[in-house]
Structure 1
């Protein structure tokens, strides 16, 4: 039997869109399983979600507990055809879900007659009588869920909203020029990145607009995602090809808007450097555009810093790049939601909008309405803390005083738990390790944000960055200092990166390397010696690491500030008052 004819075509349309006789017309509908996913729960009993197709439409479904054994026994798998004996439809927040109460699999004899639909399409092979529908034939179109896409799917159409769109980027390599752009595509089930090169840039760049819904049909290649270039939790990505069909959908409301997983600004301290997050805040300050020139390529690039605040009591700096920086015209006190920003440890914590990220001004979502109400009622006059002053103490930072002595850091085993520990430390630099004090970093400052990955020397006058696939005449050196610090209770080693290294040495790693390359090792050593015996307030993270099968704790400096002796004196005076000494 033709597998596509075995499916109960029209069942989902009749069930969800109003035919009262749907149960009479389809008493035991036959459908195909496209996706099977297990969802862990706190109670320990997993729930199971399916994506089902009746040959015309697809929907999400949940399997009742009494049928879980079929999944455990691997009887319910993608491409299987099943008969649903009892079901219940649900519409929750405009999302249609089918609850499967009872179902059955084909018997051995039936399996000989009805085979799973595989090969060219999940929806069966083409028949001579019926031509495959084009994207313009909206009512009869077989829509494929993004969640079910894989390299083994060859013929499909998705209906998706453009959730992000990059600028056009160009390159010149091996005497050839090229260009590319990318978009993120979102439907009810998942989100995926799609990239167009050269001819596809000319064909699709102006057509695909953020926030709009489109039908996209093969030929379009599905391949494994390059995780270093995307922040989406999808194992696959798309590449537009010659012949890819893209048409704007008439119904723009049938696909959900952007999904966010917001991190409040106070919690950025707990987020690992280089992690990608979503944030939302009130725009409190718009800085001027800074036009910079790459030291290596002499190409100009633009950046603009924004200051965001939220009801956690913190504000932070967020940088946007390129055309977004120059065309930015959002008024202060607007609420902006950012999806896909990279966390940096510059000035404690700061953010940078990635090429694949998006910015939504005054979005119609509950978090935005909450922040607008908070800012109008109290936020406008509130004083905010930020992560650059976390080295300060007590009330000045609006946070609990977690200042530690070196002896307390060790006695309390900070960092030995499953999660990192954060603390403040006032200590004096007594020694700077001069061996391996820096590394050669990528000089591609035109990247947004700058790459800063380690480069390899491939010849006397060439350095190679594998991430950027570019060569440079010389690297940009960045600090990775190891410093020994002391207070009156003991000594310990701290690790510092470039921003803190510049503060402590008063110079750059590039300048020190120039001195050493000119034969001035003694002068370079003098720079480090002059940096000793200075006291700082350090904001640190303690994290457990395993080195040579031994657990150790690494103390990394997130930020550092010179001691403000006036503020420290006032703090000591407050401490003395607590002892009621007259």
Structure 2
């Protein structure tokens, strides 16, 4: 066969910074130089005149390498590549889109008699440079060339060339300011670049979160930046979290430089970029022109609610619907962590005349402010097969109420014309008695032996509105002050003894237990409230009550009795208990709060409407 012609001198031109369109080179050798959990292969390339051994492939190309596509003597065309500085005068050529021209097996020999390019590094220095990743590899924008980027960037554009959007003036911060010529496409961010900057629009912003582990504790939030080429996730911890949380706003455009590049953890993000960024002390994040055309507006790929029945569970979808029921905030117990979570179940319907339930969690649930008839957009909501088909928000979900979108305006018109009067097909079925832990307000007759036994872990958690109809004994005792909270034993010598800590103390902490009966129209239940919730219920702390009891027991009894015929929102945990060979339910108070009259009125209206139907 005819031996293909190589682009003689191409490697020299690339390494000197000259633009070279789609050069043809030959692979003479390859070596696996993976490090820091990042797979990469180093290649010795030849252009027939020179050879250069610091050429690497990373990312999706690894599968092609390991499949044998780039075997020895293969001739390839470099459609896209980068040339970056790698410490001192060394340079690394990153192959991003190589095309096989002739397989190595068809050639079987070296073409020409290439000599090593002057300044080519030895094997040891290259391996060392590659293994250090982002910390030792920096880019030189004047020497970076490739054959074009995805997402509309022109052929031959350099990695550090500015976008064609509006210019943003430099803003000094410390001793460094982001320069326009440093801005590169988001899709090209990798650990092998330094002195880069990106500009993008915020397409998603998480709520403020707290974390606590072996490394310490603090707060964090994350957000996504997107330009024409792609999208990337950025996370800010502790000081940077405090610094940037209020500044970063959804839909706004920002320029970012000096952030740590690391492999994306797909457990926490559904962004397709191979890498993600973490802000640090030297990071620079500056507002930019919100009308920059290189930063597209947030895009939605709406799916009709009626089509969700055929969409696989755990899919992430964009939905727009009219709110038929805004629901109310409820508190549930997490099965995994045992912590309380806030949730709100809302009902959405669209012109496919199908209705589905969307569950919104925690801060978003509390801040949700839509009314019946409002148009709600949920971007990146997860579809589940719980109770038929239902949607749930996740960390990357974006919720918007009455957005200025053509789809929202069209749907609002449909609902006003006829959608409010239809009987939609229901994808989400209502929870029955087996789902009493759902957090929705229940009546006291739901607290029964049968429901407790059938509940998860035989623990029934119930939210209810009820009235205190009888107060029992209020026990106030002295507890260990060192955190174990066990009841102290009085020694009659001026000291108290803690059996658990096995030590004597002169003074403990006052704690209390209160038993009381609550009732609604369906049942009456005796409840036990422990210290914090008992104090909240009575409105006085245990020490003040203990002093009151010592000084005026009648006043103490009146204070406890003043709870009678007061109505609250109770959160109860019920388990089975054995007492004197009798099995009975034991109900403890988890939390108590005043009645939210607006939410309660909505609940009553909903029940009335269901009765009418």
TM-score normalised per structure 2: 0.45
